[in-house]
Amino acid sequence: MGRQRLGTPTLEEVAARAGVGRGTVSRVINNAAGVRDSTRRAVQQAIAELGYVPNLAARSLAGRRADAVALVMAEPDWRQFGEPFFSEVARAIGDALADTGMQLLLTLARDDVERRRFVEYARGGRVDGVLLMSVRGDDPLPDMLAEAGLPTVLLGRRSGDECVSYVDADNAGGARDAVAHLLHQGRTAIATITGPPDMYVARCRLRGYQEALARAGVRGRRTWVAEGDFTEESGHRAMTRLLAEHPEIDGVLAASDTTAAGVLRALREAGRRVPEDVAVIGFDDFPLALRTDPPLTTVRQPLEELGRAMVGMLLEEMKESAVAWRHVILRTHLVVRESA
């Protein structure tokens, strides 16, 4: 007689018993297409042998709801939590949920331990849906939540092939508009300071910069591109280096307003006038953009609309599981002030 197992069987144990992946077990549980009959029978047998009961199915039978939504921040770098983006998005989402009677829970999922802990917490019926932000390219959390059958919406996306529902801004288009504005002003040596390369949002803004130069027939230099991390300090550091290597630079697109604030500080220290010597454009249009010296020309992300769209999409998926992932991209808008 085999050793009796202890505790509640997990999705991973079902997958191991059936010799398949977690995703295949999830598809069988949800009666999805694309699973061979022999594989489906093996999974069903493993479920029966282990006595596995999907958490969401049990919740449905009990007719129980948590009346709570989790906003999960997957950013591993503590410095990023001081950036305005997080507080602005959280406020927009909170406002969108205000009239629903649902509780908004804020949590972190920065590493494998915290991811697993949160998935088990969510599968236990403590939240009805999940909003995810600051997800890096290799983050498995969206897939883990989808496999667990939890309604999930991302802010942004991990790649161009994202298969989980998301709401995003037109980052590439916003960057193209910004660089086109600099080119129209007669700027000929335009640099950019990017966000982290493992974030798709940063790669999109870099791509928009490159496309705008190419469309205008301007031959951009690879060394005009400096890597940052959306912080003010990274903007200051990158701009200082760019000026030392390329004193001819007369325009800069920064990947965020806080990065642009660091750029302005570096230019001021170098004795460069803005916008007379170097024009600067940021990205986001936070309140910070009005307080810089000079006030910052920037690409406005529709943060209120992003928050409302995320909440609306999640509530719909919580009410009735959609047959397809939904991908929404909202327009950006160039706000011209004194820096460019």
Mean pLDDT along residues 133-149: 86
Number of domains in the chain: 3
Predicted pLDDT at 31? 66
Flag whether 339 is in a domain: no
- CATH of residue 208: 3.40.50.2300
- CATH of residue 19: 1.10.260.40
Residue linked to tokens 């942004």: 156
Flag whether 5 is in a domain: no
Alpha carbons 202 and 241: distance in angstroms, whole number? 20
Flag whether 115 is in a domain: yes
Flag whether 150 is in a domain: yes
Strand ranges, E, within the chain: 68-73, 103-108, 129-133, 152-155, 166-169, 190-194, 225-227, 251-254, 279-284, 297-300, 327-330, 333-335
Flag whether 1 is in a domain: no
Mean pLDDT of all residues in the chain?
88
Mean pLDDT along residues 158-182: 94
If asked whether residues 134 and 201 sit together in one domain, one would say no
Residue linked to tokens 């750029």: 263
Backbone angles phi, psi at 152, to 5 degrees: -140, 135
Confidence bin at 61 (pLDDT 50/70/90): very low
If asked whether residues 176 and 285 sit together in one domain, one would say yes
Q: Taking a C-beta distance cutoff of 8 angstroms, is the pair 202, 190 a contact?
A: no
Cross-sheet strand order for the sheet of 68-73: 103-108, 68-73, 129-133, 152-155, 166-169, 327-330
If asked whether residues 217 and 320 sit together in one domain, one would say no
Flag whether 2 is in a domain: no
Q: Taking a C-beta distance cutoff of 8 angstroms, is the pair 252, 236 a contact?
A: no
Residue count of the chain, please give it. Answer: 340
Give the domain range for residue 198: 171-300
If asked whether residues 160 and 267 sit together in one domain, one would say no
Residue 53 has pLDDT above 80, yes or no: no
If asked whether residues 272 and 326 sit together in one domain, one would say no
If asked whether residues 160 and 210 sit together in one domain, one would say no
If asked whether residues 47 and 93 sit together in one domain, one would say no
**209-256 pLDDT per residue, tens:** 999 999 999 988 999 999 999 999 999 999 999 999 999 999 999 999
Share of the chain above pLDDT 90, in %: 56
If asked whether residues 157 and 210 sit together in one domain, one would say no
If asked whether residues 296 and 175 sit together in one domain, one would say yes
If asked whether residues 285 and 324 sit together in one domain, one would say no
CB-facing half-sphere around the CA of 237: CA atoms within 13 A: 10
Flag whether 336 is in a domain: no
Q: Tokens at residue 9, please?
A: 């069987």
If asked whether residues 261 and 278 sit together in one domain, one would say yes
**252-266 pLDDT per residue, tens:** 999 999 999 999 999
If asked whether residues 80 and 192 sit together in one domain, one would say no
Q: Taking a C-beta distance cutoff of 8 angstroms, is the pair 154, 164 a contact?
A: yes
Flag whether 118 is in a domain: yes
